[in-house]
Structure formats: structure tokens, C-alpha cells
Chains A and B, each alone.
Chain A
């Protein structure tokens, strides 16, 4: 994979506003990564074949809502992780690192721009898809073999999807920085898959799924989270965002110089994580 160049010269503006042009560029690289395109087509094919095998009738709103939930929960996170890791490690893999050293921007700023690009690009797409799912599922019910489940997305359900995708992308960037060896993408991917499956799979202790890096949609998860109050789901969104912030601090801490304030930020993130972790269990 080659390192993409901006079509227009990127202005060098000190401060956070200088990151925006770079973040827009990185967001475009993330969204148009071959990983997203290939895996998107793959999942659509798999989902399409599965839907034809399972449903055998016309697609209605309930099935469309279920399909969108699958895409939001099972596709966007892994694909964003892979895309972010590939983009973050592209300079190392293509041997272009020394050329980037001459760029009028520090490596830390470029990495922060990449993290911001995850927010602008994939997380933005995830928010759009979650809103689409909420609109499609408004007021419909999906009939399962074991009864009927309401497929109505609440606002706290919708908010968790971009938070999860943001975390997945920042995890990809952080692992690409800290584990600088070939295969770190797969190690991180499989490690997260096994960990998430272990935390979400039955038999479940009462609070284990709440500590996974996964969005708990009321009707989708095995947690029976339909019983969970919206406040707990809002705390879970804060929990996911705290992980994302810790990931940003980990990315920034990889680079030398000015580490004190990022360490303070990391401490604040850990406090936020602990607070949100406890808060989500209050009403459960």
C-alpha cells in the first residue's frame, strides 16, 4: 500500500485547527481503504446469501432493521480496525517513513490527525448507518422462534455504534504504533475477537458483557439488555468513549517529548473509564 498524497497543499496551522485538513485527508483514506471495500462486499455477499437461506420471503422493514444491526455491530468495528491499522502502518510497510520525516508536521500530530480521521470518517459513517437503522426499525417488531422482540432502537443504542467504531479504529492506530512488527494486525484482531466473544458468550455472569468493547443494543445482545434502563446504556457509551480516549493517549505517548500532559490525560481517561464502568452497573 502506498502513502497517499494530498491533492492540494495542506496548510500548516499550529494548534488543533491545523489538524483538520490532515484529518479530512486521513478520513478519506480510511473510508476508501481496500480493506473496507473488499470486506464490505464480502459481508454483503455473506449476509445476502444468509438472508436468502434464512428468510425465504420478501424483505420487510424488520428484516432490514436486523440486517442493519448486524452491519453496525459485527461489520463496522472489525473493518474499521483493519483499515485504521493498514493506514497507520502503511508508511512502515512501504518504507516511506524517512520521507514523511521531512513533512512539516510532527509524527504525533499526524497520528492525532489519523485518530481524528477515524472520528470524521468511519465513526461518522457508523452514526449515519445507526440513524438509518433507527429510522427503519421505528415501530416494527421482529418475530423470533422464541417470541416477538421489539426492534426499536433508542437514542442510547444509536450512540453506542459510533463510539464502538471510534474505539476500534483508534485501537488499530495504537497497535500499529506500539506493536511495530508484521502480523500485529492479526494478533490484535484475533485477540480482540476471542476476548469479546468470551465476554459476550453465555453462560454470562451478570456484569461481564458490560465491560466488553462492544455496543450493547437492547434487543440484539444475549444480555437481555431490553431490561436495561437507558441510563445504563448511556453510561456504557461513556465507557466506550473512555476507552477511545485512552487509545488516543496511548498513540500520543508513543512519540517522545511532551509526554507529561498526555500522561495526565491518560490518568483522566482511566478515571473516566472507572467512573463509567461503575456507573453502568448502578441500575443493572
Chain B
């Protein structure tokens, strides 16, 4: 596959300028306020994990606003596939979530890989849903998806032990993260589907021979 370097370089600047930074910055402020308020909990992993998860959820909700793209219709005419057009936004969302999360997890001495798995699964699922809604003409998908995202943790806490996802460090940690890996795979699949160009056929068409012309009598 040829990487359209020139087109990407030309599109990178305008796409980055079209991303709104206000909302992620505000969400980062709220996440920081949450962590500062609960700073005492960072001393022990059993309590720190809940604070870090709460901050990660706020950051993911903030990162989703990167997919509210008012310039989407105009940019759709550019000679770049959808995945390349959306890539800067996905990278931006990844940076907004991952950098503070890694710092927080390191400060609280929590397993970074496990928490990154949880955040990655939620981010992939939420991003995929946002992009799917965008394809269906929803202008600001982050509003609906972000609100729904905030409703997820209370529901996850009610899951029975054999299907638990939000667990403290302990014997259930490993099995829970196997389930998170399945969710991450589902999120990646959803993201891949949402990044398919809408004009691309589901099954590649085979070369067809033109039908013979009939002579009219």
C-alpha cells in the first residue's frame, strides 16, 4: 500500500487546527481536581486504582470531543481515505488519555499495562461508536457517547464475580483483565469497521466482462 506522504503532510496542519483543544483541557483540569482531592488515596494501590480509573474516565470523555468534526463534510472531498483523515484525531485522543494516565499510574505505583488495557478498551469502544455515529450524520457524537460512558462504571460494578471487570488488585485482577483484553479486541474491531471508507464496497468486486450488446430487430 502506498502511503500518501505528500497528501498526509498537506492535511496534517489543517486537521490539527480543526481539533478543539478547549474541552480536553477543561476535562484535564477536572481530572486533576479529582486526583488532588483524592490525593490521600494514592498511597495504597487498593484505593489508588479507583482514583486513577475515575481520572481516566474523565479524560476519555474529554478526548472524545476530538471526534466532533464540523469540518468533516468539507474534508471528505480531500483525496485521502477516511482512516488517514481521522488518524490525527485518534492520535490526539490517545495522547490526551495515555500521557496523564501513565504519569498517574507511575506515581501511584500501579500496574501501568493493566490500567492501559482498561483505558484502551474503553477508548477504542467509545471512539468506534463516535465514528460510527458520525458516519450516520450525527454532528456531535461525543455528547451522547460521553454521557453514556459515564453511566458504564456503575453498571460494571454490579456484574457478578465470574464476569467482573472493575476489580481491585487481588486474585480477581488477572481474570478480569483477560475479559478487558476481549473488550479491547471488540473495540479494535469496531474502530476498524468505523474507519472503512463509506464508498468502499463490502466485498471487492471481481472484474466483470461487459455484457454483449443485443441487436434490436
Residues of chain A touching chain B, judged by Cβ–Cβ distance below 8 Å, are 35, 39, 42, 46, 49-50, 53, 82, 86, 93-95, 181-187, 189-191, 194, 198
Does B61 make an interface contact (CB < 8 A)?
yes
Q: Is the CB of A183 within 8 A of B65?
A: yes
Does B185 make an interface contact (CB < 8 A)?
no
Chain A residues near B23: list those with CB within 8 A: 181-184, 186-187
Q: Is the CB of A187 within 8 A of B20?
A: no
Chain B residues near A182: list those with CB within 8 A: 20, 23, 65, 68, 139-140, 142-143
Nearest-CB residue, chain A, relative to B20 = A181
Chain A residues near B143: list those with CB within 8 A: 86, 93, 182-183, 185-186
User: Chain B: interface secondary structure?
Assistant: helix
Q: Nearest 3 pairs between A and B by C-beta?
A: A183-B23, A183-B65, A182-B68
Segment touching A, from B102-110, B150-158, B171-179, B194-202: B150-158
Size of the chain B interface, CB-CB below 8 angstroms:
26
| In-complex Cβ contact of B61 among A35, A53, A190 (8 A) | A190
Q: Is the CB of A186 within 8 A of B155?
A: no
Q: Is the CB of B154 within 8 A of A46?
A: yes
Minimum Cβ distance to chain B for residue A8 (Å): 30
Report if A186-B151 is in contact (Cβ < 8 Å); known contacts: A49-B158, A50-B158, A194-B34: no
Q: Once bound together, how far apart are the Cα atoms of A50 and B157, in whole Å?
A: 10
Residues of chain B touching chain A, judged by Cβ–Cβ distance below 8 Å, are 20, 22-23, 26-27, 30, 33-34, 37, 58, 61-62, 64-65, 68, 139-140, 142-143, 146-147, 150-151, 154-155, 158
Chain A residues near B26: list those with CB within 8 A: 183, 187, 191
Chain A residues near B142: list those with CB within 8 A: 182-183, 186
Chain B residues near A183: list those with CB within 8 A: 20, 22-23, 26-27, 62, 64-65, 68, 140, 142-143, 146
Chain A residues near B65: list those with CB within 8 A: 182-183, 186
Chain A residues near B61: list those with CB within 8 A: 186, 190
Q: Is the CB of A185 within 8 A of B147?
A: yes
6 pairs of residues in contact across A and B, judged by CB atoms under 8 Å: A82-B147, A95-B139, A182-B143, A186-B61, A186-B143, A190-B150
Chain B residues near A42: list those with CB within 8 A: 151, 155
Chain B residues near A191: list those with CB within 8 A: 26, 30
Minimum Cβ distance to chain B for residue A63 (Å): 18
Q: Once bound together, how far apart are the Cα atoms of A39 and B154, in whole Å?
A: 12
Chain B residues near A198: list those with CB within 8 A: 37
Chain B residues near A190: list those with CB within 8 A: 27, 30, 58, 61, 150
Chain B residues near A35: list those with CB within 8 A: 147
Minimum Cβ distance to chain B for residue A44 (Å): 12
Q: Is the CB of B30 within 8 A of A194?
A: yes
Minimum Cβ distance to chain B for residue A212 (Å): 14
Report if A186-B22 is in contact (Cβ < 8 Å); known contacts: A46-B158, A194-B34: no
Q: Is the CB of B140 within 8 A of A93?
A: yes
Chain B residues near A46: list those with CB within 8 A: 154-155, 158
Chain B residues near A181: list those with CB within 8 A: 20, 22-23
Q: Once bound together, how far apart are the Cα atoms of A113 and B140, in whole Å?
A: 25
| In-complex Cβ contact of A187 among B30, B140, B154 (8 A) | B30
Q: Is the CB of B139 within 8 A of A93?
A: yes
Minimum Cβ distance to chain B for residue A225 (Å): 23
Nearest-CB residue, chain A, relative to B64 = A183
Report if A186-B147 is in contact (Cβ < 8 Å); known contacts: A46-B155, A50-B158, A93-B140: yes
Q: Is the CB of B33 within 8 A of A194?
A: yes
Further 6 A-B residue pairs, CB within 8 A, beyond A182-B139, A183-B26, A186-B143: A49-B158, A182-B143, A183-B64, A183-B146, A189-B150, A190-B150
Nearest-CB residue, chain A, relative to B140 = A182
Q: Once bound together, how far apart are the Cα atoms of A171 and B23, in whole Å?
A: 18
Minimum Cβ distance to chain B for residue A69 (Å): 17
| In-complex Cβ contact of B151 among A39, A86, A94, A194 (8 A) | A39
Q: Once bound together, how far apart are the Cα atoms of A82 and B143, in whole Å?
A: 10
Minimum Cβ distance to chain B for residue A89 (Å): 8
Among A49, A95, A183, A185, residue most surrounded by chain B Cβ atoms (within 10 Å) = A183
Nearest-CB residue, chain B, relative to A46 = B154
Among B20, B62, B64, B140, residue most surrounded by chain A Cβ atoms (within 10 Å) = B140
Q: Once bound together, how far apart are the Cα atoms of A94 and B138, in whole Å?
A: 9
Among A39, A94, A187, A194, residue most surrounded by chain B Cβ atoms (within 10 Å) = A187
